[in-house]
Amino acid sequence: MNVVNLNSARSGSASPCVHLNLNVRGLDTSATLAINEESSALQQAGKTIYRLGLGQSPFPVPDSVVAALQRNAHQKDYLPVRGLQALRSAVADFHSRVNGIERSADDVLIGPGSKELMFILQLVFYGDLVIPAPSWVSYSPQASIIGRQIRRVNTLAENGWRIQAEELEAICLEDPGRPRLLILNYPNNPVGITYSDAELKAIAMVTERYGMLVLSDEIYSELHYEGEHHSIARHYPQGTIISSGLSKWAGAGGWRLGTFLFPQGLRWLLDAMAVVASETFTTVSAPIQYAAIRAFEGGSDITDYLSRSRRILKGLGQSLTGRLRHMGCELADPEGGFYLFPDFSLHRERFAACGIKTSRDLCKQLLDDAGVACLPGTDFGRPATEFTVRMAYVDFDGERALIAADPETEIDEAFLYEYCPNLINAMDRIEVWLDRL
Ligand code: GLU
């Protein structure tokens, strides 16, 4: 076959042969990005769509950060591979304020989104990837592309799908000397829960005992509803890398800027990642890096922006949880970020009667019949026949809501009806759809 193609290629009459890397064959576009594009196409075709698919911050980038970007539009030079020194200092200071972790600019790596940094980390570190089920859609495909083994830690709905230290230890005990990378994400995507300091401590004891590398994905840290985020790095500083970025708490997903903070003992990993960065993305866009300094420096405007964001998200998360429970769903109480992970399994028999056999079927019907876009639990590593669904409660005008959410204004049902009507309508649509099944 190849010879035939090669011969015809020589004669100039055929297309190049298809030689896809085996690790890439069969992979699809990431579910989060695919549902976003599908939702846009349906809206452009005139359909009403409630967009609970992509987890994109509804809030605008803070004004002072936008102004910093405008002031730096002229910055045109390539910047250092690891990132601008002043930005790396600001990121180190940010982690000292937010996490109580004292590090310096030399411990920071800047990348075009934390997603790319995670990919490069998985590439340069040799070991199995350990993640809970459910967990964010891209950790596992990244491991597959690179050819790493993936181990899913058992989790239970009644524990809010949190990793339990004993379950993690059970995996380590199978082969104690094996190198492993645990990715722990909190506040969590897709569940919306976080971990208490005691739970983090228990997990840290296991990771330390077995020398596991921990990537602590804290991209939603600033969206902890109470502003009380804790990092596992406090309990296992020598083995924890903290991942953050501008996408979630600063509303700048499309700016593509992510950060990793390393302990000194993992400088070899930072160095190796910087080598790969120098051969791939080179450096992050210069104007974005200059503007990001303003975001990580913080200040009273950003404190106010975050406190309003948290109050809105908390009010919404709690209200929508109540609505979903009223529909018979089981789900954990949300504690931060902007996701819910309801399980519709109570309706299993009625779903079966309509040919809905998997969470993917369920999401397809919700989109087709109710116009509500969300993602199936199976994309997050849950069994296909479990009716879990991820909902990103971000379909509202965040700018308008932020202005209205001054400290005197209560984030009650009236506020949500006024400022987040699409999310209320989405719940109504789902409820009507379930009633008609
Ligand atoms: N983290 C977001 C989500 O889970 C979207 C960004 C992405 O997947 O690249 O929906």
Number of structural domains in the chain: 2
Q: Nearest C-alpha to atom 10 of ligand 1 is from which residue?
A: 55
Give me the pLDDT at residue 3, please. Answer: 37
Q: Give me the pLDDT at residue 109, please.
A: 99
| 60-71 confidence digits (pLDDT tens) | 999 999 999 999
Please name which of 395, 391, 368 lies closest in space to residue 50, comparing C-alpha atoms. Answer: 395
Residue 89 CA to ligand 1 center (angstroms) comes to 27
Same-domain pairing of 52 and 80: no
CB contact at 8 A, 234 and 203: no
Q: How far is CA 349 from CA 343, 354, 364, 368, 389, in A?
A: 14, 9, 18, 20, 17
Instruction: Based on the fold, state whether residues 385 and 412 are members of the same structural domain.
Output: yes
What is the pLDDT at residue 13?
Answer: 63
Angle at 63 between CA 96 and CA 337, to 5 degrees: 55
- Across the chain, what does the average pLDDT equal? 96
- Tell me the pLDDT tens digit for each residue of 373-407: 999 999 999 999 999 999 999 999 999 999 999 99
Q: Report whether residue 115 contacts ligand 1, using a CB cutoff of 6 Å.
A: yes
C-alpha 227 to ligand 1 mean position (Å): 22
The pLDDT of residue 18? 85
Q: Specify if 1 maps to a domain.
A: no
Let me know whether 139 and 42 are in one domain. no
Q: Could you tell me the pLDDT band of residue 434, with boundaries at 50, 70 and 90?
A: very high
The pLDDT of 168-185, averaged and rounded, is: 98
CA–CA dist 93, 295 (Å, integer): 12
Pocket of ligand 1 contains residue 54 by CB under 6 Å: yes
Q: Model confidence over 246-266: pLDDT tens digits?
A: 999 999 999 999 999 999 999
How would you classify the pairing of strands 372-373 and 375-376? unpaired
Cα(351)–Cα(417) distance, integer angstroms: 30
Same domain flag for 191 and 244: yes
Q: How confident is the model at residue 121 (pLDDT cuts 50, 70, 90)?
A: very high
Q: Mark which of 262, 297, 332 sits at the end of a domain.
A: 297
Residues 158, 147: Cα–Cα separation, whole Å: 33
Residue 39 Cβ inside 6 Å of ligand 1? The answer reads no
Structure tokens at 164: 């339990």
Considering the domain architecture, whether residues 146 and 255 belong to the same structural domain is answered as yes
Give residue-wise pLDDT tens across range 265-295. Answer: 999 999 999 999 999 999 999 999 999 999 9
Closest C-alpha to ligand 1, atom 7: 32
Task: Report yes or no on 14 lying in a domain.
Answer: no
Domain boundary among 297, 322, 340: 297
For 312-348, the pLDDT digits (tens) are 999 999 999 999 999 999 999 999 999 999 999 999 9
Q: Given 240, 271, 297, which residue is the final one in a domain?
A: 297
Residue 13 lies in a domain: no
Answer yes or no: do 282 and 403 share one domain: no
Cα–Cα separations (whole angstroms), residue 412 to 45, 64, 259, 312: 34, 29, 35, 9
User: Are 170 and 316 contained in the same domain?
Assistant: no
CATH number for the domain including 404? Answer: 3.90.1150.10
Whether residue 97 is found in the same domain as residue 212: yes
Question: In this predicted model, what pLDDT tens digit does every residue of 1-35 receive, in sequence order?
Answer: 333 343 444 455 677 788 999 999 999 999 999 99
- In testing the pocket of ligand 1, which one of 29, 56, 217 has its CB within 8 Å of the most ligand atoms? 56
Strands 258-261 and 240-245: antiparallel
State the number of CA atoms in the 13 A half-sphere of 183 facing the CB: 31
Instruction: Please write down the long-range contacts of 273-282, taking CB distance under 8 Å and 24 or more positions apart.
Output: 273/109, 273/117, 273/120, 273/121, 273/124, 274/81, 274/82, 274/109, 276/120, 276/123, 276/124, 277/81, 277/82, 277/109, 277/111, 277/120, 278/81, 280/120, 281/111, 281/112, 281/116, 282/78, 282/81
Enclosing domain of residue 100: 63-297
Residue with CA nearest ligand 1 atom 8 = 32
Pair 396, 360 in one domain: yes
pLDDT of residue 40: 96
Q: CATH no. for residue 149?
A: 3.40.640.10
With a cut of 70, say whether residue 119 has pLDDT above it. yes
Angle, to 10 degrees, between the axis of helix 286-297 and the axis of helix 63-71?
A: 150
| pLDDT score, position 4 | 35
- The closest alpha carbon to 430, from 385, 363, 354, belongs to 363
Say if residue 98 is in the same domain as residue 179: yes
Residue 189 Cβ inside 6 Å of ligand 1? The answer reads yes
Give the model's pLDDT for residue 16.
78
Distance 139 CA to ligand 1 centre (A): 11
Same domain, 39 and 81: no
Q: Which residue's CA is the nearest one to ligand 1's atom 4? A: 55
CA of 136 to the centre of ligand 1 (A): 8
Q: Nearest C-alpha to atom 5 of ligand 1 is from which residue?
A: 55
